[in-house]
Every structure is written in C-alpha cells, then in structure tokens.
Structure 1
Amino acid sequence: MDSAAAPGKGTSDQQDWKIGVDIGGTFIDFCALETRSGRVASLKVLTTPDDPGAELMTGLSLLAEREGLEPAAVSRFVHGTTVGINTVIQRRGVSLALMTNAGFEDVIELARLRMPDVYSLFCSRPDQLIARDMIFGIPARLRADGSEVEAPDLEAVAAAVAKAKANGAAGIIVSFLHSWRTDIHEVAVSREIARVAPELFVFTSSEVWPVIREYERTTTAILNGYVHPRVSGYLTALEEKLLSRGVTAPALLTKSNGGVMNADEGKRSCVQMLLSGTASGVIGAAWLARRAGEKHILTLDIGGTSADFALIIDGEPQFGTGELVGEFPLHIPSVSVSSIGIGGGSIASVDAQGVLRVGPESAGSTPGPACYGRGGEQTTVTDAMAVCGWLGHSQMAYGQLQIDVGLARAAVTRLAEKIGRTAEEAAQAILDVAISEMFVEVEKLASRAGVDLREFTLMPFGGGGPMLGAFLAREFRMAKVIGAPRPGVVS
C-alpha cells in the first residue's frame, strides 16, 4: 500500500515507517511497520535507567542495521511507558507538600472512610504519598457556588512554602474547596508560591482534573506531581534523543484512556499517562481477541516490574474511573486495568518474621535478575523460573540475552538457606507466592465485574505474561490460553 510521504520523510519511492515503542522497567520493545510492504519488525532492548533514551537509540540502530530503517523515513512515532506507574508502585517519586483549606488537612487520610478490604482483620491503609507534616492548611474559603467568603492568606502561604522547602519538598500541590467551580484561590496561591520559591514546581487540582469532590481532585493532583519529575525528565531526554538520531516525527504518547497526546502535554498532564503502556496493551489485546473470534478475555500483561490485568467483555475493553495505580485510586476516565508489583524482575526476600515475600521492588535492567549475568545478586521471579527449568534452554530477548542458570541457582540458594529449603523448593515457592498475589487481584477484578473466569480465555502478553500465564489460568480453571506471536509488542 503506497503512502504519501510528508516533507522531510522521504519521497514516494522510499520507505515510510510507523514505529510503536513500549518502554517498561526492564525492557523497551519496538514494533516497526513498513507501510508500503506491510512488513513488521520487532525487537527488545534492555533499558538504561542512568541514561534515559539511550536504549531508544540502540533500538533504532538495530532496526536500521537489521531492517534498513532510515530515521528520516519515520512518519509516526507512538509509544507507551510504564515510567509513571512504576514510580508509584515502587514509591520512588518526588517529595511533595500539599496546600489545602485550613481545617481540611486530613482530606487524603480520611479519603472515603473505607478500608481497602473491609473483611480483613489485618487490613490497613497504605501510607500516603504526602506525609502529614507536609500538609498545610491555608485560611481561605469559597462557597459552593464559587463566591468568595475569605481570600487566601498569602502570608500563610509564604510561611508554608518555607517549611515545605526546609523539609525537602521538590514540588507543591494546591487543592482548595470548590476549585472545580472556579480556580481563583488555587491560582492566587500558586502565583504566590512561584513568587517566593520559583525553584519548586506547582500543580493545582483545577489544572490537573477539575471535578467535584475534593478528595478525588486532590489525590489525582498528588499522583500527577509525584511522578512529574521522572516523567518530564524522561520525555525531555526522549525528544532530544529522537532529534539527535534524525527522527523528526513528533513523539506521541498513549494515554490511560487509549488515546494519544504529544510530549509537551505529557510533561504537565503526567497523570493522563500513568496507565499508558497498560491501556495500550488492553486495546491491542481487544483487537487480537476480535481477530481470534474470542469475545471474553482476561488479559495478563507482565513486564519486569508489574503485572496488569483487564477484562475484555463482548470483544470490547472496559472503561471506568477509580482504577488502582499501585495502592492508590486514579480518578480519571481510563481503560479498566488493575496493577500489582509482580513482574519478571520482582525481588524475592524473607521478612523479619521469616515469611517469603515477592515484590514490589524490582531488579530492573540494571543490574537485573542474577541469571542475566549483569551483576545482579538478588533473587527474582525470572531466576526462580530458571532454577525450575522453565528458562535457560535458549536465548532470550531476540538473542540479546543468554540465561545463566548457574547464577540463578546461586541467588536462589542464598535465599533458600534463610527458609530452610532446597534451591528447587525455594524457587517453586517464589513462583507460588507470585501467582497467589496475582490470583487475589484478579479475583477482586472478576468479583467487581460479576463474571465467571471459567467462561473467559486468558491472553498473556508482555515479556513475562506467557512465562507465568498458564499457571494463573490453571488456578482459575480457565480452559484456554491464547498467546500472541509477538507478546512483547501487543501494546
């Protein structure tokens, strides 16, 4: 199929490439379509956390070397990333302060006065992303109709900024009552913060997601600010790397609702892309399900850091609000996806009570699982798979990795000694814990939707989905598992 070349993208007798990239915590996956011939190429490259964007250059170089791709011939570049969601799951975001109305300092702690699991005697709420001593009440009040009762006390704002800076805040979230009606108080406070501390970034709830109810607005704005430095830095580096490589097509980002936005918008509206890669995976899986003639699908998207689950009913992905990002609800319309910190790189450990734990910390790509031979010494799910004999018989990642079973066994043995088991027993226990963690989350998802998973087909994808998918399907007595030919690039 011929496609007209845009200026600077080559002439009509040259190639025209569309590239999709899924950037995870351990690998970056490329899918390139040459539109004239319909040829598809895919590959996988280890991420470089210390040099964001370098892995992108490596991938483009490999595509050029193997497929003859010319950077100037790229007419569309779209990518999804788990940078945001991994930041929340692993709690590696920035230190924030919150300014709200005096008397409403406990808004995020009170939430909706519901426990995460009302039937568990051991249930507890997660620690908030902003500590209580970093929440400041500012005298100010609007009525519900937007009329002003009391203007913000700017001296109190300046004093709060000084305390926030002293406590190490890198940014401030501003969320006031009724700002969905009018943002005059939030704007006034944010301007004062910019005046006294221009080095701090500021997000207002009315800017991020101006909806009624202060808790939903506040938590959404907090998530946006929490991941902002990482996401913004990553996107800036991405754009610079693309331009240096000669790719002039603008970088487009997939959003949590399955749409796309440009990089400049993504740097400010970070919360819109928290479920970027995961939402894209569900959209891709729905397309595959329709092609396969399957109406009801449970998707299982496992990368190096997280496992994401979604339901496709009657061939269509489900949408909603309040999806969980780690332990926190995301109050923006998005593809309904549940995520937990279990992936191929998830680290297994033994806690103070001698209980085996898996995740949410991940070995990532640097140093990665022990079996990668890149200096990693901690035991991961991938190492357990190698010790159990499921991995290590051939190369991985399109020939870029060779699993070292000896290193995996050494890592698992060190952990096995702590629980008095053999290496094989410990490895199987790691897999059992990982699958049981997934089982609990999927069971919640199915219960909320009111579906019987025995009537569904499991579609595992991502680098680790097919690796663990059959085990999860067995637990739910699902009769069928469908694997995509290129599971790493379903998104």
Structure 2
Amino acid sequence: MGFRVGVDIGGSFTDFAVLDEKDNSVRTLKVLSRPDKPGAEVTQGLSILARRDGVAPADISYFTHGTTVGINAVIQRTGVKLALLATRGFEDVLEVGRLKITPIHNLYGRRPEPLIPRDRVYSIDERMDRDGQVQLAVGVDSVGTALAQARDHGCDAIVVAFLHSYRNGANERAVKALLADWAPDLPVFCSSEIWPIIREYERTLTAVISGYVQPRVDHYLTSFESALAQMGVPAAPRITKSNGGVMGVAQARAECVQMVLSGTASGVIGASYVAACCGMPRVLSLDIGGTSADVAVILEGQPQYGTGEVVGEFQIHIPSVSVTSIGQGGGSIAWVDHHGVLKVGPDSAGSSPGPACYGRGGRNATITDAYAAVGLIGHGELGYNSIHVDRDKATAAIARLAEPLGMTVFETAENIMRVANSEMYADVSALLSRFGIDPREYQFLAFGGAGPMMACYLARELNMQGVVVPPTPGVLSALGGLIADLKNDFIRTVYRDLDASVAPMLGEAFAELEQRALHWLHSDQGFTGEHSLVLSADLRYLGQSFEIETHLEADWIARGDMRALAEAFHCEHERLFGHSDTSATVQLINLRLVIAGATPKPVLRELPAADAPARPAGLIKAYVDGAMRSVPVYHRVALRAGHCFDGPAVVIQDDCTACVLPAMAVTVDRWGNLIISFVPS
C-alpha cells in the first residue's frame, strides 16, 4: 500500500491531492507555480507533503499530473513560431477557415488572426486523391524551397498538412523524412499523425495548435520528469488528457494537443465526481484559476463530451470534455485602452510576479486585486499560507487605473469585477444556448483558486439557481486528475453510405481499432485491470455538411445489423433537432472507439452535524454592490452540516475564499458543500 498523487499545475498555483491507499482518505496542498523553473513547484509540494503528512516520495505508487501550460500558451498566444507546408493551391486553408463570423452575436466581432500568418505558409508539389491514391509524389525541390523560406523567417517548427492525408499520410511522412535529414533541429508535425480526420481546415488547425504548444510542453515535461526523478518517486508519471482520461509522458510529447485541455478536463472530472456522489443532477462546473475561467455542463454526475471545443479563439477538433475556456482568471490584468475604456485580460500576471496584492513585485491591477481592494479577500492566508494578501498594494495598483478613468478606487475595482463578469457572461450564455439550458435549473459548482470568489457575481447575472462550493475547491482539479481513468480515443475515416454492403468492412475496421486500443492500454500503459470499450460513429444524412456522433452497440457490429445503426442515428437526430427522415440515405463518415481502464476512487466523508448556530469569526468592512457594508467572516473548518447563514458573507479556508452576496443564503450539506441560493425578494 502506498500513495496515489494527483497534481494540477496552473498559471498561478500548483495543487496536490493525495489518496492514501490504506483507507482511501485524501490530503491536499497548494503551492505557487514556477513557470520560470518548471518542476520546482512539484519538488516543493512533495517536500511539504513528506514533512507534514508523511507522504514519502518512495511510497508514491501512482502519479498523475494536469497542466494548463498548453491552453495558456494558446490563450495568451505565447507558443512557438511555426511554418505550414500545404498542398500547392490550398495555402489559404487557415485564412479561409469556415468563413464564419466569430462571435455571431457581436456586430463588431472579427475572426481571429491565424496562429500561422499567410507569409509563413509554403507550397508543396504533391497530391493525394480522395481515395488515398498518390496522384503526385512529393516534389523534393519544393520542400527544399519551403525549408529555406522557413529558415529565413526564423521558424522554430514546421507543420505539414496535405489534402486528403486522413486517407493516406504517405506524402506527409515523406516530407517529414526529408526534413529530418535536412533539418534535424526543427520539430515536424504531420496532421495525419496528430488526428487523421476528414476536413482540411479542422485537421490542419488541430495540427497547428499541437505544434504551437509542443516545444513548450516538451520542455515542461522534461523538467517535470527530472524533478520527480530527483525526489526519488518510482511511479512513472501520467498526464491528464483533454478527454478526461490520462496517458503516459511519451504519448503526451508526441500528441500534446491531447493535453491542451489537460487541467480544465481534470477539473470537470473532479466536479463530476462530486456532483455524482452528492446527488446534484444539473451542474455547471466553474473552474477559475489565475489565467482562465472554464465552464462545462454536468448532467446526472456525467460530464458532456464532444469535439470542436473552444480554446481561446480557436476550436480543437479532438475528443474532449465539452468545456468553454474564457480568458478571465483571477490573475487577468485590467487596463485602459487608448479610447479610455476599461478592459480586463487576456494577459495574466501569473504567479510571478502575480497580482499586486501578492507582494511579489507585480504592479498591474488584476481581478484578484479588485476583490482585495474592496475588502472581500485578504482576511486569511491563501494557497495554504503561500500567499499573504497586501491590500495596500492592491489599492495602489487600482488607483493607477482610477485616475485616468475619473473614478474612485472602490468604483474602479467594482467596474473591473463587472467587466470580467460581462466577458464571462457572454461566453457562458453561448454555452447555455448551445446545450439548450435554462440557467434557472442549474447550479454553479465553483472551484479553482478564484472560482468561489467570483461565482456568486456571475450566477446572479445569469439568473442561476445558485452556487455550490465543495469542501476543497482550490484543489479539485488535482483530485480530478487523480481519479481519472486511463483513456484513449481511436478514429478511422470511412466515408461510405450506410447499407448492407458496408457491414464486413465495418466489422474489420472496429476489430482493427479494438486491437490498437488494447495494445495501447496493455502494452503502452501497462494496465492489467478492468477496461471498457465504447463504440460510436459519425453519421449524417446524404447532403448534410456535418455529422452527429451516434452510440453503437458491439452486437450490432458483430451481426452486421446496419438497420440498427441507422435507427440509432434517426433517434439521435430527432432528439437533437426535433425531426428525422427515415427514408433518407445515411452516410457513415468516421468510426470511433474509446477505451478506458478504471482507477481507484476516494471515499467522500460526511461532515458532523451542527449542534449550535454558525458563528462568524468576526466582521469586516467591504465595498459590495456600490456601498460599504459590514460583512461577517466564517472559517470553513468551523462549519458543520446543517449550518445556515445569510449574505453578504465571506468564507475563508486554506485554499481559497468564497464571497457571498446580499440576498443570498448559505446552507452546509452533509458532505460539507456550501449550498448558496438566492433569497426570494
């Protein structure tokens, strides 16, 4: 028996969750992240756990790790300088995209600038037909010319994305082999190896995002592995994936797009586990860290999955937890543009220097500084005593914005909070519309270092049912990574009409996917426990442009029952769009298989019942909703099941601060969750 450790490394804090295999109990910790020295935060955290809780590194039997390094690079556009090699005549794939106005509800909205500008896209003489037959072999001279141009532009890596390479990646591999010989120092990423899906733009964009973050991720993972080895941790680390599972480090390096939503997916898995154990049927997870706010839909304790999730300004077309990431975190920097308009984000102060109130040299005002300036935070230590909030420094940072705006410090701070809320409101509203959700039926499950601090404001704007704050919200993402199953997705494009003639091919294709999946789980991951297989297919009616992922039963494949597949698609189409056409031809585009190996889960412990009313530890003065108010402060560790109190209130604990607004009431349930609801007027 040993310890299973989950670590989530964000832009500001690194969170630890430790499962003791003897009794399934959980210990937690939070330390400052070290983007200047990746891995140092892991060494520091493990040292504290060994000293404080007796978690010896040599006794760690399982180690999972989620990180926001990938998503932060995309949101802040701090990835590497890339070149794109494209089939001659298709160089504008990133510029043309899907010709959508983004966002459609914003009359002034603009499509984002591509991560690779047009002057770094180079033509290659080659052509693959739609059936995967080579019509034109790779022109060696065109590759040499493209390499020379990429060198002249100072590119750090190259992405290769050719027409129809999802059918046959031979030409992409040929170019990669040439570049490996001519320029071994330049990393090369082939779209057919990253995620071989039909549609050139989606496949190219996914490969570009993977290449954009890969060198940074690789450097990070190398430092991370070195830190674990120096600490004497025997367990091979696993990395949390965008699909809510985990994978080995080697796969993470090769397919780093799979971990772009690593930290965010971990948070959703942790929130789903809490929602399932505590019987919360309709929940929106709200994970706010230092750089971003991430929102996902959880129904009956199960997260929703999909493709095309938005990361910053772009979609990634890999299977992932359906989560919307917004560039508004606790460390997001407030600024005044040249028109004199107050803006917030997307740049973040991170952990170094961090918000001004951290006292680590930061001078820019952030969302966290706004909450400190109005008096809502800073009444207890943050991040397990790693942060001492300096309200004077926060006030000074806000004052530098207040002067050009012609406002008081309090007014400026509240307006920073309002601007941040309005940004999140717009993106969360789009998510609600996408899923057809009535916000009055849903609660926010708020976590992350800044989630409980900001959740009530956003819930009020969205007219939601209320907010739930779990017992250890600041480290819930680490817990999610700890309990995530080993999981991987496999896909094969077919592009055939669904009729009896396709049945033999379908059986062979799924058998091949299953063989690959089992090899990945048993050989690559060394897993020997119970596993599950989930089959699905991307189907559409002939003439439609996009597909619906439809669940399939293995028995249908075994007996070649194409009618059952078609009926399942008709039912799914009816459920989503309110109509179906059973007489129309159905097309089968992609086959999908997901394999998962189950991991141990902790036991949630019930909180002792209260034997007296909740008593505040004291009163503070805070500027809330345009007025200075007396606000009671409660210590989370002193609260018991059944305790009730009204807002405004502040609840402080080791890993975060929860801010409760006026006209809200708080009840502590038997699991220790804070159930915050609106008081009827």
Deviation at 1:432? 0.3
Higher-Rg member (1/2): 2
Deviation at 1:218? 0.3
Q: Which one has the bigger strand percentage?
A: 2
The one of 97, 122, 125 equivalent to 2:83 is 97
AA in 2 matched with 1:142:
M
- Indicate conservation of the 8 Å contact 2:439/2:465, yes or no: no
AA in 2 matched with 1:98:
L
Q: Secondary structure at the match of 1:271?
A: helix
Gaps of 5+ in 1: 4-15
AA in 1 matched with 2:274:
L
Q: Secondary structure at the match of 1:104?
A: coil
Deviation at 1:287? 1.2
The one of 65, 71, 75 equivalent to 1:79 is 65
AA in 2 matched with 1:421:
M
Q: Secondary structure at the match of 2:138?
A: coil
- Indicate conservation of the 8 Å contact 1:278/1:301, yes or no: yes
AA in 2 matched with 1:61:
S
Aligned to 2:413: 427
Q: Secondary structure at the match of 2:468?
A: coil
Q: Secondary structure at the match of 1:482?
A: strand
Q: Secondary structure at the match of 2:15?
A: strand
Paired with 1:322 and 1:400, the residues of 2 have a C-alpha distance of 37
Alignment partner of 1:48 is 2:34: yes
Residues 76-121 of structure 1: CA deviation (Å, up to 9, x unaligned): 0011110100000000000000001011010011111111123432
Aligned to 2:321: 335
Aligned to 2:379: 393
Paired with 1:83 and 1:156, the residues of 2 have a C-alpha distance of 35
Quick one: percent identity of the two aligned structures? 54
Deviation at 1:147? 1.4
Alignment partner of 1:418 is 2:397: no
Paired with 2:235 and 2:36, the residues of 1 have a C-alpha distance of 25
Residues 35-78 of structure 1: CA deviation (Å, up to 9, x unaligned): 21333211111111111100110000000110011111000001
- Indicate conservation of the 8 Å contact 1:32/1:41, yes or no: yes
Aligned to 1:139: 125
Aligned to 1:271: 257
AA in 2 matched with 1:91:
R
Residues 113-147 of structure 1: CA deviation (Å, up to 9, x unaligned): 11112343211100110011000111111111111
Deviation at 1:314? 2.9
- Indicate conservation of the 8 Å contact 1:232/1:268, yes or no: no
- Indicate conservation of the 8 Å contact 2:276/2:300, yes or no: no
Q: Secondary structure at the match of 1:395?
A: coil
Deviation at 1:400? 1.8
Aligned to 1:481: 467
- Indicate conservation of the 8 Å contact 2:30/2:475, yes or no: no
The one of 209, 223, 226 equivalent to 1:223 is 209
Paired with 1:180 and 1:480, the residues of 2 have a C-alpha distance of 45
Alignment partner of 1:248 is 2:234: yes
Q: Secondary structure at the match of 1:231?
A: helix
- Which deviates further from its counterpart, 109-118 or 226-235? 109-118
- Which deviates further from its counterpart, 285-294 or 68-77? 285-294
Residues 301-322 of structure 1: CA deviation (Å, up to 9, x unaligned): 0000000001112331100000
**Mapping for residues 189-200 of structure 1, pairs under 5 Å:** 189-200=175-186
Q: Secondary structure at the match of 2:452?
A: helix
Q: Secondary structure at the match of 2:440?
A: helix
AA in 2 matched with 1:239:
E
AA in 2 matched with 1:140:
E
Paired with 2:24 and 2:81, the residues of 1 have a C-alpha distance of 47
The one of 290, 296, 302 equivalent to 2:288 is 302
Alignment partner of 1:156 is 2:142: yes
Paired with 1:455 and 1:120, the residues of 2 have a C-alpha distance of 27
Alignment partner of 1:66 is 2:62: no
- Indicate conservation of the 8 Å contact 2:132/2:168, yes or no: yes
- Indicate conservation of the 8 Å contact 1:367/1:374, yes or no: yes
Paired with 1:42 and 1:383, the residues of 2 have a C-alpha distance of 26
- Which deviates further from its counterpart, 80-89 or 28-37? 28-37
Q: Secondary structure at the match of 1:181?
A: coil
Aligned to 1:125: 111
Aligned to 2:13: 27
Q: Secondary structure at the match of 2:179?
A: helix
Paired with 2:167 and 2:34, the residues of 1 have a C-alpha distance of 44
- Indicate conservation of the 8 Å contact 2:275/2:300, yes or no: no
Deviation at 1:402? 1.1
Alignment: residue pair count: 477
The one of 139, 157, 162 equivalent to 1:171 is 157
- Indicate conservation of the 8 Å contact 1:101/1:140, yes or no: yes
Deviation at 1:193? 1.4
The one of 211, 218, 223 equivalent to 2:197 is 211
Deviation at 1:329? 0.5
Paired with 2:404 and 2:6, the residues of 1 have a C-alpha distance of 44
Paired with 1:121 and 1:399, the residues of 2 have a C-alpha distance of 46
Alignment partner of 1:116 is 2:99: no
Deviation at 1:149? 1.6
Paired with 2:138 and 2:421, the residues of 1 have a C-alpha distance of 51
Residues 154-200 of structure 1: CA deviation (Å, up to 9, x unaligned): 11111111110110100000000111111111011111112221110
AA in 2 matched with 1:89:
I
Deviation at 1:152? 1.4
Q: Secondary structure at the match of 2:467?
A: coil
Paired with 1:118 and 1:293, the residues of 2 have a C-alpha distance of 36
The one of 210, 235, 254 equivalent to 2:221 is 235
Deviation at 1:286? 1.1
- Indicate conservation of the 8 Å contact 1:301/1:465, yes or no: yes
Aligned to 2:364: 378
CA-atom RMSD, angstroms?
Answer: 0.9
